A and B are shown apart, each in its own frame.
Chain A
C-alpha cells in the first residue's frame, strides 16, 4: 500500500513536470510584427519586436500617424503644406512654421553646406523643367535661367521667430531629398516613446533600425542592384545594422534614355543636368535625415570626392560607380557582404 502511494506521488510529479514544460513553450515570446501603409506618397513599412501583438499594433499605428502629420507639413505638391506656403511667399515675406519644419530645413541647409552645395534643397526650379515620365529634356537656356534661383544660402531661418524665408522670388524649397529619412527618425522616436525596444522603419528605401532582431542578431538590409536583370539579382549586397540608418540614391529610380544616354532624376545643382559618376550610393549614418541627404550629395560628388566627404563626416557608404565597381568605406568591414551572383 505504502509502495503504491509512493508510486502515485512520483507519477503526479512527472505529470506536473510535463505540464510545466508545455506551459514554458506557450509563454509569451518576443516576435516581429510588421505593417505597411501608404504615406508621403510611398510605402512605409514598420517592423517592431514585441511580446504582445496589441502593444505592437498600437505603437505602429501611432508611428504611422506621426509620419502622416509630418508629411502634411512638408509636402511639396500640396497647397496646404507649410513648404508650399514658404514657396508662395518667396521673395516677399518670412513664413511662421512648426518646429518640425524648422528642424528639417535646418538639417537640409546643414547637409547642403557640408557638401558644398552638391545637395541643395532649392534645386526645385531646375527639377521642374525635367519630366521623367514624358521623357522631356529641357533646353540648355531654360536650365541656365533657372539655375540662378538655386542657392541654399538664400534660405533664411529665424529660430527665435520660428520662420523660414526664401530671399528670391520664384525660388522653390523642396525637402523631398531629405524628408523620408527624417520621417524614419520621427517614427523611431515615436516607437521608443511607446515602449518599443527594437524595430525597423522603412520609408520606401530610407531605413532606420534600432535594437536587435528577436534572435538577438543585427537587422539585415539588402542593397538594391542598380542594374537588375531578372528576379534573382535584385540584391547586390547585404549590410548588418543596429541603431543606424541607411538610405540609397540611385540613377534607376526615375530616368529615360535619349540615344543610349541615361537621364535620371539626381540633378547636379551646379549644372542642372544628371550627375553621371555613380549608379547608386548607400549611406549609413546615425540619423535617417543625414543618411538620406548625404546619399544624394555623395552621388552628385562622385566616388572620389564622395568618399572623402563620407570619411570627413565619420559616416559609412557603399558607392557603385558608373563602371559597376563597388566601393565601401573601411567602417563596413565585417558587416557588409556582396552577393554571390556579382
Chain B
C-alpha cells in the first residue's frame, strides 16, 4: 500500500518536473479565457427575468421574476401593493383616483405605470422582445 503511494508521488514529481513553458502558457490562456467568459456571457445574455420598481424616476428595487412575493411601495396616495407571482407581475392594490395600473392586470413583459403615485414597474428591459424585433420606444 505504502509502496504504491510512494510510486504515485514519484510520478507526480516527474510530471511537475517535466512541465514546460508551453504548459504554463496554456494554463494561463485557459484561465484568461474562462474569466473573460464570465463577462462575455453576462453582456450577451438577455436580461428579461427581473422586475425593477422605480419611484419618482429613481430605480428603487429589483427582484427576480421567478420568486413569488408582494412588495408594498409608498407613494403620494398611500401604499401600493405590487405582486410578483408565477413569472408575472401586477399592481394588486392602489389608492390612486383611476386605478388604471390595477386594471392593467398581470404583465410578463413591458411596463406598468402609476402616474399619480409616480411608480414605474419594469419587467426585463422594459418591452423586451425577440432578438432583432426589439423596440426602442412606443408612440401612442
Name A's B-contacting residues (CB within 8 A): 7-8, 11, 14-15, 18-19, 22, 25-26, 34-38, 41-43, 45, 47, 133, 200, 202, 205-207, 209, 213, 219-226, 231, 234-235, 238, 246-248, 250, 280, 282
Number of A-B contacts (CB under 8 A): 93
With an 8 Å Cβ cutoff, the count of chain B residues facing the other chain is 31
**Closest CB of chain B to A290's CB: distance in Å?**
14
Residue B113 lies at the interface, judged by CB distance under 8 Å to chain A: yes
Q: Is the CB of A250 within 8 A of B118?
A: no
**A36's contact among B98, B108, B120, by CB below 8 Å, is which?**
B120
Q: B1-40: contact bitstring with A at CB < 8 Å (1 yes, 0 no)?
A: 0000000000000000000011001001100100010011
Contact partners of A206 in chain B: CB under 8 A: 139
The verdict on A207 contacting B139 (CB below 8 Å), with A15-B28, A231-B108 known, is yes
Complex Cα distance, B108 from A7, in Å, reads 58
Counting chain A CB atoms within 10 Å of each CB, which of B22, B57, B115 scores highest?
A: B57
Known: A15-B25, A223-B140, A250-B140. 8 other contacts (CB 8 A): A38-B56, A207-B137, A220-B136, A221-B139, A225-B140, A231-B107, A231-B109, A231-B110
Name B's A-contacting residues (CB within 8 A): 21-22, 25, 28-29, 32, 36, 39-40, 54, 56-57, 97-98, 107-110, 113, 115, 118, 120, 126-127, 134-140
Contact partners of B137 in chain A: CB under 8 A: 45, 47, 200, 202, 207, 219, 221-222
Closest to B32 in A: A22
**B139's contact among A11, A133, A224, by CB below 8 Å, is which?**
A224
Contact partners of A35 in chain B: CB under 8 A: 57
**Closest CB of chain B to A199's CB: distance in Å?**
10
Q: Is the CB of A235 within 8 A of B136?
A: no
Q: Is the CB of A221 within 8 A of B135?
A: yes
Contact partners of B118 in chain A: CB under 8 A: 38
**A234's contact among B22, B32, B98, B110, by CB below 8 Å, is which?**
B110
Complex Cα distance, B138 from A200, in Å, reads 11
**A235's contact among B40, B57, B138, by CB below 8 Å, is which?**
B138
Chain A binding site: helix, strand, loop or mixed by DSSP?
strand
Closest to B56 in A: A38
Q: Is the CB of B115 within 8 A of A221?
A: no
Complex Cα distance, B134 from A11, in Å, reads 45
Q: What are 15 inter-chain pairs, A to B, with CB distance below 8 A? A: A14-B25, A15-B25, A34-B126, A36-B120, A42-B115, A45-B137, A202-B138, A221-B137, A221-B138, A222-B127, A222-B137, A224-B139, A231-B108, A231-B109, A282-B140
Q: Is the CB of A221 within 8 A of B40?
A: no
**Closest CB of chain A to B46's CB: distance in Å?**
14
The verdict on A43 contacting B120 (CB below 8 Å), with A221-B137, A235-B135, A280-B140 known, is yes
Closest to B138 in A: A222
**Closest CB of chain A to B11's CB: distance in Å?**
25
Q: Is the CB of A22 within 8 A of B36?
A: yes
**Closest CB of chain A to B45's CB: distance in Å?**
15
The verdict on A247 contacting B28 (CB below 8 Å), with A26-B39, A36-B120, A133-B97 known, is no
Contact partners of A200 in chain B: CB under 8 A: 136-137
Closest to B134 in A: A220
Contact partners of B127 in chain A: CB under 8 A: 222
Q: Is the CB of B54 within 8 A of A36?
A: yes
Complex Cα distance, B110 from A47, in Å, reads 16
